[in-house]
Amino acid sequence: MAKLSLFDRRKRRVRTALKARAGGRPRLSVHRSGRHIYAQIIDDLEGRTVASASTLTKGSKGPGATTEAAARVGKALAEAARQAGVTTVVFDRGGFLFHGRVKALADAAREGGLEF
């Protein structure tokens, strides 16, 4: 078996821990690239995406690789989740560290009404 990268080991560790404490709540999954940030709320019990937002969605302004853009995505995701009837989630940062754009997205989602 091939050795996992540090990112993949961290991703696996985070996913395993939050699946154990999810308690049937949907998962707010975050992915960031060099240019954009993406977030979606996934219902793992049904296997479907409930709500999503990214810096590529219609109406997002400005560059996508900034903390301000991540905050806009967090607010948009919270709004979409509210319309879908989701209020509590578990935060899945994947293998990304909780700072910078990931933290800005999480803080904005909390301000928008999501609880995690």
Query: What domain range includes position 74?
Result: 29-111
Write down the pLDDT at residue 61: 73
Ranges of H-type helices in 30-66: none
Write down the pLDDT at residue 65: 87
Instruction: Please state the domain count of the chain.
Output: 1
Could you read off the pLDDT of 41-90 as tens digits, one per residue? Answer: 999 999 999 999 999 987 777 787 899 999 999 999 999 999 999 999 99
**Percent of the chain topping pLDDT 90:** 87
* Residue 66 resides in a domain: yes
The CATH number given to whatever domain includes residue 95 is 3.30.420.100
What confidence tier does 94 reach under pLDDT thresholds 50, 70, 90?
very high
What confidence tier does 104 reach under pLDDT thresholds 50, 70, 90?
very high
* Residue 75 resides in a domain: yes
**Are the C-beta atoms of 40 and 52 separated by less than 8 Å?**
yes
